[in-house]
């Protein structure tokens, strides 16, 4: 089961003002009221079968003007074409602005460390060993403030928005259940790279990662990710999801080329989901949001 369908994720969103709603198949939909307009509903990583009638009923009950579904099925699955046709018949259209990564890499941590290393690209193995030779060390710190400092510097340098409240709430929600961990890479006793890992039901996410723009030559992010793999493996995690790579179908991923190459170097299998689908239940919402499908 995907983490976004876990009880911990539901608790996290509830603390951000979302309502978690159990569907009959025991999976979650998340709704939020928008003053004067009604509500929106999002359903991430929903396994098949998709209960379309129940979702329509939920939308009516919650006076939703929009519902977005992201099915838990790969694009090349034999059932994908039929599902997409069924969604279209029900009024759910493919949407180019996804809620969650539509393409990712998943690594099987049940394999031995030797095999995991062997399945990496040669340059990735070299950079891991280089970081070790240069004296980079990785420790479990669980220090959110230290992570935030590195993350904010990364966001400023690369020009992306840092969701401060969401970061603090997801950390407090998952860490209380021993399901969130912060690992940090140090060089000459300075923290220079860090990551937040989330786990649930033997699946873990490489949720956020950041690094400073100093000592790039010591390749700390490579050792950090490798040590994260070993750390999670020792925790009993079986699948490590690297949480997003570039997907040409979605314009907001067009700048993801750099870390996509970085992640691909660690092996694993590439997962490309069918995508994101939206249905507008009010004519004004369709008129307002429909044109964004073409940008």
What's the pLDDT tens digit per position in 277-287?
Answer: 999 998 878 88
pLDDT digits (tens, 9 = 90+) for 204-225: 999 999 999 999 999 999 999 9
The string of pLDDT tens digits covering residues 98-122 is 999 999 999 999 999 999 999 999 9
Domain ranges, ordered by start, for the chain: 3-101+273-294, 103-272
Distance CA 77, CA 81 (A): 8
> Which of 3.40.50.150, 3.40.630.30, 3.40.50.300, 3.30.360.10 is the CATH number of 103-272?
3.40.630.30
10 Å Cβ neighbour count for 37? 14
Domains 3-101+273-294 and 103-272 alike in fold: yes
Cβ atoms within 10 Å of 216's Cβ, excluding its own:
12
CA distance 87 to 279: 9
What would the CATH number be for the domain defined by 3-101+273-294?
A: 3.40.630
- Apex CA 8: angle with CA 268 and CA 105, to 5°? 10
CB atoms within 10 A of CB 39: 19
pLDDT tens digits, one per residue of 124-161:
999 999 999 999 999 999 999 999 999 999 888 877 77
Distance between CA 295 and CA 293 in Å, rounded? 6
């Amino acid at each position: 089961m995907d983490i976004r369908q876990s009880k911990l994720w539901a608790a996290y969103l509830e603390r951000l003002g979302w309502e978690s709603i159990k569907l009959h198949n025991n999976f979650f939909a998340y709704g939020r009221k928008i003053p004067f307009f009604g509500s929106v509903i999002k359903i991430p990583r929903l396994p098949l079968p998709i209960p379309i009638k129940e979702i329509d009923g939920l939308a009516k009950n919650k006076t939703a003007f929009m519902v977005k579904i992201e099915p838990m099925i790969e694009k090349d699955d034999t059932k994908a074409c039929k599902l997409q046709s069924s969604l279209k018949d029900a009024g759910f259209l493919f949407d180019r602005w996804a809620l969650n990564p539509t393409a990712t890499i998943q690594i099987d941590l049940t394999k031995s460390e030797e095999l995991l290393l062997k399945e990496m690209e040669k340059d990735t193995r070299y950079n891991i060993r280089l970081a070790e030779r240069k004296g980079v060390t990785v420790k479990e710190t669980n220090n959110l403030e230290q992570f935030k400092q590195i993350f904010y510097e990364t966001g400023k340098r690369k020009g992306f928005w840092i969701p401060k409240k969401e970061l603090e709430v997801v950390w407090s929600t998952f860490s209380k259940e021993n399901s969130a961990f912060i690992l940090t890479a140090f060089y000459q006793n300075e923290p220079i790279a860090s990551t937040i890992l989330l786990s649930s039901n033997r699946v873990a996410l490489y949720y956020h990662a950041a690094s400073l723009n100093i000592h790039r030559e010591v390749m700390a992010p490579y050792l950090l990710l490798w040590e994260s793999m070993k750390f999670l493996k020792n925790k009993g995690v079986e699948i490590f999801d690297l949480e997003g790579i570039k997907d040409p179908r979605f314009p907001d991923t067009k700048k993801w080329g750099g870390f996509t190459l970085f992640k691909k170097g660690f092996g694993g299998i590439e997962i490309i989901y069918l995508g994101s689908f939206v249905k507008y239940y009010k004519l004004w919402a369709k008129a307002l949001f429909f044109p964004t499908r073409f940008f």
